[in-house]
Amino acid sequence: MTRKSSTGAETSKTGVPREIAAAPRLLEWYDRHRRALPWRAPPGESADPYAVWLSEIMLQQTTVAAVKAYYVTFLALWPDVAALAAAPVDEIMKRWAGLGYYSRARNLHACAQTVVAGHGGRFPGTEAALRALPGIGPYTAAAIAAIAFDQRAVVIDGNVDRVIVRRHGIEQPIALAKPEIRRLADAATPAGRPGDYAQAMMDLGATICTPRKPACVICPLAEGCVARISGRQEVLPVKGVKAARPLRLGSVFYIRRGTEVLVRTRPPKGLLGGMTEFPGSAWDAVGDPEGKAAPLAAIHRRLPAPVEHGFTHFELRLTVFVADMPRKTPAPDGCRWVPEEGLDGEALPGLMRKVAAAVNLFG
């Protein structure tokens, strides 16, 4: 007979939690349907900790599709942790440009240097030691320990959250259910093939137990899934209350000197930390509609349409001003001239690429 335990976990007639029995089913499915990804070792081969680490950092809050090309480039430029540690951080920022969450790039470099200087150039093989490295949090430490070092670690990412919430019919928002999710994930994690199990959960979440329209009909874990049985697979997980995204305004100045353009480097920490930008005003509720924040006194033309960009927690609308300066105009303090042709090679974030594109279009 079937009953519910106090945690809400389904139990079989033997009293064994279904999650334990589910692992072999999941691994069998993984062996047939695993995605081929550039950072994955072939079946049966052990993964390179450096490759696993690099991919996991890039994949933090970032889609597989966006990561692939960056990963291939990084691995070609810096094939091992020593090479990455020896690279100038500016070069890493440039190659990271466009991928977002730029503190990851700075931490990537810091982590590589720590591994070289403090661990003899080899990644530590325990979850606790990995967790102590810059840019490696609970998820990434567990993932590397499991995938690269074959250790039984409880790997919980957004996919695992979603799969477990559905499988157990948890009706609370994920943020409130974290402790229970952790308990259930721990109970479900097998001792054998921990890396494959972790990646199987991610593949399941990415291809079958997707956020929208999950493909329960072909799901290897459909049996015993509370959400599936109750028809609530498209309702769970319940979403939490989202904070409103305020609008911030500002100005940005695209100032040319012949074939060069004026740029500066943002402070190392905070939004777009360490990245290159065109000079401009602060971003606030008021903005700079008249272009008073111009770094050089000049005749500026205002582009007909502002550049808009969505960040995680606010929306930005930038008024773009364009000016042309005489050949020998010196760069103001904190700014420098760079060839327009070389902008692609700068550590230019997506927002600033939008600005450059708007200038090319209108000005």
Q: Active-site residue numbers?
A: 56
Q: Which of 230, 282, 284, 313 binds DNA (CB under 7 A)?
A: 313
Instruction: Give first-to-last CA distance, the chain, whole Å.
Output: 74
129 close to 149: Cβ distance less than 8 angstroms: no
Least distance to DNA, CB of residue 203, Å:
7
Q: Is 205 in the site for DNA (CB under 7 A)?
A: yes
Q: Which is nearer to DNA, 301 or 317 (CB)?
A: 317
State how far the Cα of 19 lies from the Cα of 167, in Å rounded to an integer: 9
Task: Please identify, using beta-carbon distances, which residue of 17 and 135 lies nearer to DNA.
Answer: 135
* Closer CB to DNA, 37 or 82, in the complex: 37
Residue 150: count of CB within 10 angstroms of its CB? 16
| Shortest reach from residue 200's CB to DNA, in Å | 10
Measured distance CA(216)–CA(93) in Å, rounded:
41
Binding mask 136-155 for DNA (x = CB under 7 A): xxxxxx-x------------
Please tell me the distance from the alpha carbon of residue 145 to that of residue 1, in angstroms, as a whole number: 38
Is residue 18 classed as helix, strand or coil in its secondary structure?
A: helix
CB of 204 to DNA, least distance (A): 10
Distances (CA, A) of 83 to 78, 79, 126: 5, 7, 23
90's tokens: 């500016």
**Are the C-beta atoms of residues 272 and 349 closer than 8 Å to each other?**
yes
Supply 73's token pair.
């480039």
Binding string, residues 79-118; x marks residues near DNA by CB under 7 A: ------------------xxxxxxx---x-----------
Least distance from DNA to the Cβ atom of residue 129, Å = 14
Tokens describing residue 159: 């996919």
Among 157, 196, 260, 346, binds DNA (CB under 7 A): 157
| The one segment of 21-29, 60-68, 254-262, 329-337 that binds DNA by CB under 7 A | 60-68
Alpha carbon dihedral 11, 14, 20, 23, in 10-degree steps, equals -110
Q: Does 277 bind DNA (CB under 7 A)?
A: no
Kindly determine how many residues on this chain lie close enough to bind DNA according to the rule CB under 7 A.
60
Distance from C-alpha of 302 to C-alpha of 325, rounded to nearest angstrom? 16
For position 351 contacting DNA by CB under 7 A, the verdict is yes
Q: Site residues (CB under 7 A) for DNA?
A: 35, 37, 39-40, 55-56, 59-66, 97-103, 107, 134-141, 143, 157-159, 162, 175, 199, 202-203, 205-206, 211-212, 239, 242-243, 245, 270-273, 309-313, 349-351, 353
